[in-house]
Structure 1
Amino acid sequence: MNHASDRLIADYAAGADLPGDQLWGVEAHLETCAVCRARLAAVAPAQPLVEAVWSRLDLDAGPAPVRRRRRRLDTWVTPAMVPWLVMTALVTLLAVLLDRVWPIVLDATVVQLFAPVLPVLGVAASWARGLDPAYEVVTATPRAGLYLVTRRTVAVLAVVLPVLAVAGLLTGTAPALWLLPSLAFTTGTLALGGLVGISRAAYALLAVWVVVILLPAFAAQGQTFALSTGSLPVWAGIFALTSVVVVLRRTAFTRLGAHH
């Protein structure tokens, strides 16, 4: 079993203002790990820790409403996702500018080319081991699994879809042409992630999008089926099928290896 680091235990015992996902992860880990509970007891006297907990529960002395809203938001996203959020806005802005000043040879907009990529990159960032200092603790807790995967995926889509909607409106791209591929690649990442790990699945699907769809489309210099309106039933079918696979294989996400 993976245990919380000494620094995380010390910060928790001292009542430090930990990010929401780290606080949530270490508390869930302590529920089932006697070793880490013993380490916590060794670095923090019982009475000050109890007083700190009660102070958090005291409604009169509790945090302001704005702070509580921020804490709830922290349980949906990780600090590792912040750079990705900035990148999403910049990439989408670049797609809109390219669509205006650099007409591509395909019968598609640049927004369509980026649409499946943005949510997949976000899902990969939300499970990046090297970017999240609380990765081992969070993914090893009983509260992890499909529930946590779904929360972070919804957080990704909550950012990506409005951004793509604005970009699609500015470039005249029909909503279904960017929405269905985005959703299909997102659920496809989760479905494949149950087998090989979410990050690996994201990178694999990115490679498939570039090698199998984009490069042949540019080589042919014309209409490509994957970017046309005729492909919409196919994208809808992929989205439905991979969603079913994710639900049927939901237990795969309870293993730490599924989050690599």
Structure 2
Amino acid sequence: MIPAAFDYVAPTSVEEAVRALAEGGEDAKVMAGGQSLIPVLRMRLAAPTLVVDLSGLSELTGVHDEGESLLIGALTTHYEVQRDHLVREHARLLCLATDTVADPQIRHRGTFGGALAHADPAGDLLAPALALDAVMVCRGPDGTREVPAAEFFVDYFTTALAPDELLTHVRVPKLPGWGAHYEKFNRVAQAWSIVAVAAALEVSGGVITDARVGLTNMGPTPVRARGVEEALVGQPATAEAITTAATRAAEGTDPTTDGNADAEYRTHLARVLTERAVTAAVSA
């Protein structure tokens, strides 16, 4: 299909992009890599009056070391995140999750920030960002503000971004030496997650001293499996302890029933995949 007519601007600075969004109002859309927006436009599921193309803003690319955290530009592609040595060393969970995103063509074009701002609950980067306590750096007409991932994802395809704000960077705390794993269940290769689990653990002397577990597609937003985390911390890193903790995976979730799976099956998957992800993270 052919998209409905819209105006198009390609700003050369973040300030210019923010002005364009403010002028376009709620009918304006931001395009980063375009891997989510363009299909939606072609199917006429969205009909913006203005598209603001950010692809020329090189200031929003790259991974930067900020001491205790990494600052990842929103326009950094999935491919670049996968292969960045800083991300692999300090936030390996992001690399593992990004490895499962679609296919090489999409990973070369799609962007880290674009996927987060799109906020698809089946998307593979939301739960890792939540589990890692990432912070979203947003720029609007009133300046810059920072929003924790726990407050950024609001509902299906909805974030805390105002209509005239951009996601410019993502700040990710460093977790060097932590084990990590992303366990994804999907019907066919390169598909969206039916359920997935992002796990990062710190183990010292055979005991789990800290645990972060995020769930993909177990509700309208990514979910922290707090019950699992509480059950793991202070326990020996044994199969028995992990199995027991995984029984709490679905606590506080709201899985949907759709053409891929019903809520009961997703609840089952959350437990099974959590056990697998935590086991793999302990051994990583």
TM-score normalised by length of structure 2:
0.27
Greater RCO, CA 8 A, separation 6+: 1
- Which structure dedicates a bigger proportion of its chain to helix? 1
- The structure that has the greater radius of gyration is 1
- Which structure dedicates a bigger proportion of its chain to strand? 2
